[in-house]
């Protein structure tokens, strides 16, 4: 399968890229600075790109995004650029407790405003753009850089209350996103990767 990975030089994007190659996929890794993509592989193409402008994406490709942003507007611009490029599917990383998962997360999700503040509307709008295009949005909780551990993926109907102590590794989230790319279970919906 051909996968296109956004923010491939970031911590989640790096995990997505490495695991995708380990699974035998062909990967186009997009990053603003391709020198920061620390992988080399015969099935890896590194492409300099910025989501603030149009993206050229193979229409047969599945796009996986590890895109994060410190500036409001970046995530929505990225989602719109990906949707406009017209890939076969989109699998997007969002934040548990925002937008579609806010009600399921409960009152504990209010703490997210301390961390994301003015970026939350951008996250919600980006998720909505991806969902409207039939993509899958993974709402992960607190991410760590720990090794992969056992995990499972549930829909919003099985979502637990938001808990800052319930952490999940980026490696586990990357594996769940790749599983969705290979065997779609949540098209057009929000999915929650959970540890354990």
pLDDT band at 41 (very low <50, low <70, confident <90, very high): very high
Range of the domain at 28: 2-195
pLDDT of residue 51: 86
Work out the average pLDDT over 59-70.
92
Query: What pLDDT shows up at residue 178?
Result: 98
Give 108's pLDDT tier (boundaries 50, 70, 90): confident
* Residue 4: strand pairing partners: 28, 63
106 close to 162: Cβ distance less than 8 angstroms:
yes
5 by Cβ neighbours in 10 Å (0-12 / 13-18 / 19+) ranks as: buried
**How much is the pLDDT for 114?**
76
Q: Residue 181 has what pLDDT? A: 98
Q: Is residue 65 within 8 Å of residue 92, measured between CB atoms?
A: yes
Total tally of structural domains belonging to the chain: 1
Q: What is the CATH number of the domain that holds 14?
A: 3.40.50.720
pLDDT: is 112 or 33 the higher one? 33
pLDDT surpasses 90 at 100: yes
Residue-level pLDDT at 117: 81
Whether the pLDDT of residue 196 is over 90: the answer is: no
């Amino acid at each position: 399968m051909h996968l296109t990975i956004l923010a491939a030089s970031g911590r989640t994007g790096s995990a997505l890229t490495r695991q995708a190659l380990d699974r035998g996929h062909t990967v186009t890794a997009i990053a603003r600075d391709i020198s920061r993509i620390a992988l080399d592989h015969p099935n890896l193409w590194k492409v300099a790109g910025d989501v603030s402008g149009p993206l050229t994406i193979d229409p047969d490709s599945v796009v996986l995004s590890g895109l994060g942003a410190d500036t409001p507007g970046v995530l929505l611009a990225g989602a719109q650029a990906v949707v406009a490029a017209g890939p076969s599917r989109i699998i997007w990383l969002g934040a548990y407790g925002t937008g579609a998962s806010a009600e399921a997360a409960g009152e504990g999700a209010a703490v997210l405003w301390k961390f994301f503040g003015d970026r939350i509307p951008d996250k919600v709008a980006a998720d909505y753009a991806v969902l409207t295009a039939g993509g899958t949005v993974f709402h992960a909780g607190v991410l760590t850089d720990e090794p992969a551990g056992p995990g499972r993926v549930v829909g919003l109907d099985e979502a637990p209350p938001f808990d800052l102590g319930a952490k999940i590794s980026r490696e586990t989230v990357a594996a769940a996103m790749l599983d969705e790319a290979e065997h779609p279970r949540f098209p057009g919906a929000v999915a929650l990767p959970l540890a354990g």
